[in-house]
Amino acid sequence: MFTTVLALFVRILSNPFANFLQKILSAEYSAILINLYSYAFLSLFCIYPAIACYSWGNYGVNFWGYVCLAGILCTLGSVCLIKALQQGEMSVLGPINSYKCVVGLVLAMVLLGEIPSAIEVLGVLLIIAGSWYIFDTLDGGFQLSVFKRKDVMLRFLALLFTGSEAVVLKKIILMSSVAESFILWCFSGLLFSAVLLVVFRVKFVKLSLKSLSFTFLIAAGLGLMQFSTNIVFKQLDVGLSLALFQLSSLVSVVFGWKFFRERNITKKLLGALIMIVGSCFILLR
């Protein structure tokens, strides 16, 4: 139990920490390039255990299909998130993660014909109410047009990709182990980041020493985030895990205020808290 609580604490802090550094670097470099360097550092760390400690030939085609799918979803989610941070406020984009629960609810209605319960509807209303407090701090206040902002749209795309990845990742962990799934997550992230670099014709450049140290810290943050996520997923169901992970949005709001001088901290914290309660109503139904 202590290990799970510790992993949860690390997960809540490490994700905003990585986002904070990604936002700094995104002012100078491509999101895909930042992602590539970050996963390269992670993959270097994983080379020895991947070769010396595990036998990969025992897994079938289905398993590797899940690994590839998780890698694609993770890479697309990371790139969309970095692009969103490049253009928007961290204290606004962080709490949007609560909408991941609403997306899952809508997909369940459309694809599975599941009718939401009263408590789930209340959760959706709370998320919308909380987001009003968040978006009302933007220029022009809360309007429906806010959902057409490029940074907001990219953040929603990111949560769609990462929400889908969480389900696939849970399947991979159940089929292998926490350590093996982490190693494969690192290598697949590097592979598909390289693919995106080629597809979108992003120029590969050598980073300065300072920027290189930042990508190393991003890699450390992402590595801690993913490994702790795997530990929590191993012990708890996905719904409960995702509900607890929402607490990281509060850290994002504080980071945005502290390091980027983003305003209206009280209103944003209140909105984030309301959204967290709403997401818990949906995920813990």
| Domain ranges across the chain | 2-283
Mean pLDDT throughout 38-54?
93
Is the per-residue pLDDT at 144 higher than 80?
A: no
Q: What pLDDT is stored for residue 271 in this prediction?
A: 92
Mean pLDDT throughout 200-221?
94
| Helix orientation angle between 209-235 and 2-26, rounded to the nearest 10 degrees | 150
Per-residue pLDDT of 162-181, as tens digits, reads: 878 887 888 898 899 989 99
Is the per-residue pLDDT at 152 higher than 80?
A: yes
**Residue 139 or 117, more confident:** 117
Answer whether 253's CB lies under 8 Å from 57's CB. no
H runs (alpha helix) in the chain: 2-26, 31-52, 61-87, 90-93, 99-112, 118-135, 150-175, 178-199, 209-235, 238-245, 248-260, 265-283
How far is the CA of 98 from the CAs of 172, 235, 245, in angstroms? 24, 22, 10
Mean pLDDT throughout 218-226?
93
Mean pLDDT throughout 201-227?
93
Q: What pLDDT is stored for residue 112 in this prediction?
A: 58
Answer whether 271's CB lies under 8 Å from 131's CB. yes
Cα–Cα distance, 159 to 78 (Å, whole number): 9
Of the listed ranges 13-17, 28-32, 245-249, 280-284, the least confidently predicted one is 280-284
Is the per-residue pLDDT at 283 higher than 90?
A: no
Cα–Cα distance, 99 to 210 (Å, whole number): 35
Cα–Cα distance, 95 to 247 (Å, whole number): 9
Mean pLDDT throughout 89-114?
78
Per-residue pLDDT of 122-139, as tens digits, reads: 988 998 899 888 988 887
Mean pLDDT throughout 181-204?
94
Q: What pLDDT is stored for residue 101 in this prediction?
A: 77
Is the per-residue pLDDT at 87 higher than 70?
A: yes
pTM: 0.88
